[in-house]
């Protein structure tokens, strides 16, 4: 996949990486209470790399450290593992592309270079973000590069003209998921992306019903929840049925019918599923579980930073634990 870096294959066996991951996983935050109810200065200290190294305390520190950790894991993977996890890393790097396009729109060239420093994107994609004359040119380059993966990415430039950058971001993510789920995937990765698609479809349906949006959502194919079932809930305008669907899908009830609660339930459901799968000491499951835990730690650290002046009980409800 030319959309990602292609460094030399280190040739390490899977067992080697699993042993390294085991040690790094032990350094992830297991108990968030010290950061919630301890001294104020501890809140900023959570923005660190999973290796435990102290980093800067800016609001973006947690995400930069996550990207650095992804770089390390990717560099330790042999060619076979990289092929298995290629779509995972590409999906993670969509955030980099979207932020880079926003920086272009805001004319923050220096910020783009800093963003790309720890990215796993291939050189051509980085050049599209760092060297394009303006936002439309960058979007056209992203379209050209991703179209080599699938022609379904064609038309991103027209999407920018008709719907703006937010529409480009949405289409890029949704197209990537639909292309991914229709590709040849490791069984565990197929289940993972199927769950990601389910989560996005549920959120799209909830927002449509809750906020009475005019345009009905276009559901991404490939999830385990059938499109017919989603459309039936939509046709009946049945929020309670959607709540029951979330409970059955995640294994937990949603106490407050708001977007944050729905989203957190979906994150927690994925976390529980991966924790169970990751108990297998062999294969790719522990690696996927670790990568997901790193992303959750970055998300929680970001939440803590942005809510450091709010009531701790409120913040507790915003964390994925």
Helix (H, G, I), strand (E, B) or coil at 121: strand
Q: 143 Cβ partners below 8 Å, 6+ apart?
A: 153, 154, 155, 156, 157
Q: What is the mean pLDDT of the chain?
A: 89
pLDDT in tens, 187-228: 999 999 999 999 999 999 999 999 999 999 999 999 999 999
Asked whether the predicted pLDDT for residue 286 surpasses 60, the reply is: yes
For every residue of 278-304, DSSP letters joined together read TTSSSSSHHHHHHHHHHHHHHHHHHHH
State how far the Cα of 150 lies from the Cα of 135, in Å rounded to an integer: 22
Hey, which bits of 212-257 come out as E strands? none
pLDDT of residue 55: 42
Q: What is the mean pLDDT of residues 12-41?
A: 82
Asked whether the predicted pLDDT for residue 126 surpasses 90, the reply is: yes
pLDDT in tens, 33-49: 777 775 544 544 444 44
pLDDT of residue 312: 66
The domains found in the chain, sorted by start residue, are 1-185 (no CATH), 187-283 (1.20.1690.10)
pLDDT band at 113; cut points 50, 70, 90: confident
Q: Give whichever of 179-183, 253-257, 299-303 has the largest mean pLDDT.
A: 179-183
pLDDT in tens, 164-181: 999 999 999 999 999 999
């Amino acid at each position: 996949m030319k959309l990602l870096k292609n460094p030399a294959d280190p040739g390490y066996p899977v067992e080697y990486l699993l042993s390294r991951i085991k040690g790094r996983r032990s350094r992830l935050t297991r108990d968030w209470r010290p950061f919630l109810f301890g001294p104020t200065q501890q809140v900023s200290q959570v923005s660190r790399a999973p290796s435990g190294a102290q980093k800067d305390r800016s609001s973006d520190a947690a995400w930069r450290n996550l990207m650095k950790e992804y770089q390390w894991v990717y560099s330790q993977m042999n060619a076979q593992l990289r092929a298995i996890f290629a779509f995972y890393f590409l999906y993670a790097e969509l955030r980099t592309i979207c932020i880079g396009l926003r920086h272009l729109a805001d004319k923050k060239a220096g910020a783009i270079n800093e963003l790309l420093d720890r990215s796993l994107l291939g050189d051509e994609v980085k050049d599209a973000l760092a060297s394009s004359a303006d936002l439309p040119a960058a979007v056209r380059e992203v379209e050209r590069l991703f179209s080599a993966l699938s022609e379904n990415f064609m038309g991103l430039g027209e999407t920018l003209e008709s719907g703006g950058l937010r529409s480009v971001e949405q289409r890029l993510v949704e197209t990537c998921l639909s292309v991914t789920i229709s590709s040849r995937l490791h069984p565990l990765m197929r289940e993972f992306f199927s769950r990601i698609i389910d989560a996005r479809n549920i959120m799209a349906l909830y927002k449509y019903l809750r906020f009475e949006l005019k345009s009905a959502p276009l559901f991404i194919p490939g999830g385990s929840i059938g499109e017919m079932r989603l459309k039936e809930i939509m046709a009946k305008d049945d929020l309670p049925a959607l709540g029951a669907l979330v409970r059955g899908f995640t294994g937990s009830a949603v106490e407050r019918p708001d977007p944050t609660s729905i989203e957190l339930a979906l994150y927690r459901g994925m976390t529980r599923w991966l924790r169970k799968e990751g108990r297998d000491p062999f294969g790719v499951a522990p690696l996927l579980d670790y990568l997901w835990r790193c992303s959750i730690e970055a998300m929680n650290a970001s939440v803590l930073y942005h809510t450091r002046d709010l009531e701790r009980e409120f913040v507790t409800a915003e964390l994925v634990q």
